[in-house]
Structures are given as structure tokens and as C-alpha cells.
Amino acid sequence: MLVEFDSDSGESPCAWIQGYCLAVRAGAWPFVLDLVPALRSVCIHYDPLRLYDDGWTTSAWLAALEQLECVPVPESAVRRHRLPVCYDADFGLDLDAASRHLGMSAEALIEGHLAAVYTVAMIGFAPGFPYLEGLPEGLRLPRRATPRAGVPAGSVAIAEDLCGIYPVQLPGGWHVLGRTPVVLFDVDRPSPSLLQAGDLVQFERIDAARFAVLGGC
Amino acid sequence: MLKVLRGGQLASVQDGGRPGLQALGVTPGGALDLVALRVGNWLVGNAGTLAAIEMTWAGLQVSFTADTLIALTGAVAPVTCDEVPVPFRRPVWVRQGAVLRMGQVRDGARVYLCVQGGILTPAVLAGQGTDLRNRFGGHQGRALRAGDTLALAPQQERYPRLRARLQCTGAGLVSPSWEVSLWRDDAAPGGTPIRLLAGPHQSGLGRAGLRALHSARFRVQPQSDRQALRLQGVALRAQHEPLRSAGVCFGVLQLPPDGHPILLLADHQTTGGYPVIGVAASVERSRLAQLRPGDDLSFVPCGLEEAQRLLREREQRLGVMRDELAWRIEHC
């Protein structure tokens, strides 16, 4: 089941989407298997057999979903993260090309990237891969014409109006600006993904020495 | 213990999957043919979704370090145990040291080897199956290969008469004369059309496109894997507003810009950005799981109510089978 959210004003509906997820969870329907918030939608995975066994019909449940009271999640309830990023040339593989494309210096691109506060709109593509909204207008550019076969783990990259971070080495066509030593996803942690949809993220510049101290590679 | 002597084409440990973690980008995974996994597990006295080996196409060879109760389900392949054919869809007691060899599947794509007590791989994110793409879970997060050993539970005296026969004959395996009937609805995977619910972007196909979707034959392409079936038939076009990535599920039929649809299977990414022109009914999961490159398939429209009714009806039939097997396990 896919619930879509309008965005006529161009504003991100992220807070509404998080609020909607809370409301669905509060419904405590045991047949709901998974809730996947995304940029403009929530995907509700459910077990139709269990729904039926619980005495529901799909149309009755749909009506209940439509009547859910939902409010945007307040900022005070949001988790905040500061993620260290090293923008050195070894890591910022596309820093020069991207800044040339944008008609600014690499330093101006880094400053613009550092200045923004980002919202994790969704996790997708790979375990722990965050889609961050909030990239300043002036830093938006299309994906690379030729995707890389392997973008290194920890790469912080931008494309269109989004910023993303590669949890592990993956193929990808986003412009890599730098790299974080922070491990985004680890199956052995009680909460395997560092980030969750709705979280706020700010980047913090570090040098290569600090990157190494923090365990980066 | 189970020893892998040859890994074959692609064999991996799979269970019921990891539902509930898709918001973190973790694919639900699990055995592609869930009905085959469940029936195989019931045949050896397990709960339905314990971990088993999913074998694709051909080549796996294994042996056991103790007498072991197994069942083979799913696609039909020539499997021998010390040169003697091993029957499918029956409980089979296999003697310690006997070697099980799997030949090339004749019908379908994936065979399940279920073992009493399940395959005891460590739980990762609450699942014992292998996430092959993200390389965790199952046996070291990868496909099985020669030299691997998998832990099994101590074997209990299920099917006591059968077990006694293994002990008093010198045979490498014993199995009963009965088998469970074919549970795959519409046996041949390419036979009747796959029931397809409307997807959120189906109207973008237009009337002619929709007709083409429901009348064309599509062929499964060689790049298909546990993640998706890549189809080729008539090229389709969907008009749509610019899309943002959204959650997807097993059975989602996506239409990338080249016009050749992709039907998502268990190892799908949790989100996708292509238009969704249809969703295969859940009851079709096993048939989709057993399609292989070169097979043809077509689609027929199906409403949500009908799809759910068919699923319930099949679940009732499976429930009868499960109860019957629970009795046999103590008495045969």
C-alpha cells in the first residue's frame, strides 16, 4: 500500500510523513509488517492473511487509514547528528569537476555544503544509505553522465536536490565531495543504521589526520 | 553437520526473510519460493520458515556427518544419493556419509533442501538467511562452496518406522511410498498468465499500452537473479509526473526508461524510482520464483479482493497439508 504526499509548495513533507508513520504505528495493527517512509510517500507493507484473520477487510482498513489523525513531528522530537567529513582531494573525487560545473571554487562548494542542515528524508538503495534533503539551491546539478562502478564506503555525494552517503562501496552516479569515517550501518549494532528517516544531519569538516584517528579508510 | 562438497551454480542458506527492517534499507529477502520452503520444513517436522538451502539450477553436492532427515521441494531436478534417485516432496532419511548430488533442474529454477531442525546459521538482524548483495547472514554472507560446513540440530526420531528401516537395511536412504501432491498452483510456471494488480502508475500506459501489457508475452532474460526478473517483450511507455523514489515490494512490476519491465523478487532494494505499472498477486510468488531465463510469461488483470481470496484459499489447502504431515511424522 502506497500513501503519497502532495508537495505543491515545494516544501518537504518529511515532518508530515514522519507524523503519519507515528499515527500508523499507534494504530498497532499486528498485520502491518513494515513502514517505509520515502521522499513523498509512505509504503505500508501488510500481511493480507493476518488482516483477514484479525477480522478486517482491506476496504475497512483503508477507510481507517484515511481517517488517521496526523500532525507533523515537532522539531524538538527529532534526533540530530554531526557527521565529520574530510574534503581532501583523495576523498572528494568529484569536488573539482562539480565546482567547475557549478561555476564556483571548490572551497565555496565545500562551504555551501557545510552550511546547510539536512533532513534524512528516507533510507533506501542500500542498508543505511540516507537520502538527505536540504541541499542549497546553488549546489544542485544532475547526476554524473557515467556512473562509477564502485563509489568508496563513506563517500558523501550530491545529485539534483539531494545529498547521500554511501555506507559501503556501491555503484553510483552521484558527485562525491568528501568522505566520512563514521560507520553508517553495522549489523552487529543494536540499532544497525546510524540514521533514520526524520533525523537532522550537519556536516563538520575534518582533515586527513583526524579522519585517520576516527578510523576512516 | 552438513558438509558442502560442491557449491554448484548458486546455493545459499535462506529462511522466511527479515521483514520489518525496510525503513533501514534492509531487503526482506527470504526463500524465493516460500511455499516450497514451508512444505519442505513441514515434511521434516519443522516450523515453516526454518533455514534451508536454496539451490539454483544445478551442481550442489553435500553429505551429512550423521543420519539426517531431509526433504527436497520446489523445482524438480535429478538428485541422487550414492547413485540412487532421491524422491521429491517426501521425507527422506539419509545415512551418515552418503553423498547427495544435484543434477540440472528439469522444471522450474530453484530446489529447496530442508533438514530436520533447520540449518543453524547464526541469526543476523533476526534472520538466518543470506543477504547475498549486502553480504551478511546465512553462511558468512555468501553462496555456499566446497569445504563449507553447516551446523545442524541433533536429529530426533521422526517417522519412527522409516528410521527403523534405515537402521536395519544397508541402504543409503529410505523414504515412504507416499508424497505430498504438487502444491504449486497451475503447475507449469509459464502456463497460465500471472495475475497482476494495477500499479500506481499504470494509467500512464494509456489504453493501448495497457492492452499490450495484458496481451504480450514476455521472456525472462539471463540477467535475472534473486533481486528481479528482467523481462523482454513489447517495449512499453508510461507517461507520468517526475517520480521520487518510494517503497516497493515483492511482485512490483517496474518500467525503466528502456521500456522493458522489471519484476521485483525477494532481494529487491527497499525503494525504487521507476514507474510501477503493476503488482503481481502474492499468490503468484512461488510461480515467479520458479521462472528461469528463457521462460515466457504473460499477465492477466486481477482485483485486490480476488487476489486476497485466492491467497486465503491456498493457505487453507496448505493448512490441511501441514496438519496431515504433523500426524504422519509420528506414525509413519
In sequence order, what DSSP letters do the residues of B158-210 get, joined into one string? -SHHHHHHHHHS--SEE--S--PPP-SSSSSTTSSPEEEEEPTTGGGGHHHHH
Residue A212 vs residues A153, A179, A202: alpha-carbon distances, Å? 14, 11, 20
Residue B182 is placed in which grid cell?
A: 504438487
Tell me if chain A has a CB within 8 Å of the CB of B248: yes
Sign of CA dihedral A115, A131, A96, A182: positive
Bridge partners for B3 per DSSP: B63, B149
Q: Which of the given ranges, A4-8, A111-115, B79-83, B167-171, has the highest pLDDT on average?
A: A111-115
Chain B: give the shortest CA distance to residue A107, in Å: 30
* Contact residues on chain A for B270, CB-CB shorter than 8 A: 36, 123-124
Q: How far is A95 from chain B (nearest CA, A)?
A: 26
CB proximity A193 to B under 8 Å: yes
Closest among A184, A197, A9, A173 to B271, alpha carbons compared: A197
- The residue of chain B with its CA nearest to that of A189 is B125
Domain ranges for chain A: 2-75, 78-213
Task: Compute how many other C-beta atoms are within 10 angstroms of the C-beta atom of residue B133.
Answer: 18
Report in angstroms the alpha-carbon separations of A137 from A49, A113, B259. Answer: 47, 11, 32
What is the residue type of B52? A
Q: Say if A173 is an interface residue toward chain B (CB within 8 Å).
A: no
CATH class (in words) of the domain with range A2-75: alpha beta
pLDDT in tens, chain B (332 residues): 999 999 999 999 999 999 999 999 999 999 999 999 999 999 999 999 999 999 999 999 999 999 999 999 999 999 999 989 999 999 999 999 999 999 999 989 999 999 999 999 999 999 999 999 999 999 999 999 999 999 999 999 899 999 999 989 889 999 999 999 865 555 555 578 999 999 999 999 999 999 999 999 999 999 999 999 999 999 999 998 888 999 999 999 999 999 999 999 999 999 999 999 999 999 999 999 999 999 999 999 999 999 999 999 999 999 999 999 999 998 88
Helix-strand-coil split of chain A, %, nearest 5: 25, 30, 45
Is A185 in Cβ contact with B25 (below 8 Å)?
Answer: yes
**Which residue of B269, B282, B311 is in closest CB contact with A125?**
B269
User: Model ipTM?
Assistant: 0.93
| pLDDT 10s digits, A31-47 | 999 999 999 999 999 99
**Entry field: residues in chain A:** 217
Nearest residue of B to residue A161, measured between CA atoms: B244
CATH architecture of the domain formed by A78-213:
Beta Barrel (2.40)
Q: Is A41 on the interface with B (CB under 8 A)?
A: yes
In chain B, the domains with their CATH numbers are: 2-183 (no CATH), 194-301 (2.40.100.10)
Within 53-72 of A, beta carbons closer than 8 Å to B belong to 58
Question: Looking at chain B, how many residues does it have?
Answer: 332
C-alpha cell at B38: 514451508
Predicted TM-score (pTM) above 0.80? yes
CB-CB: which of B20, B136, B315 is closest to A33?
B20
- Nearest CA of chain A to the CA of B86: how many Å? 34
Judged by CB atoms closer than 8 Å, whether chains meet at B270 and A48 is answered as no
- CA gap A155, A157 in Å, rounded: 6
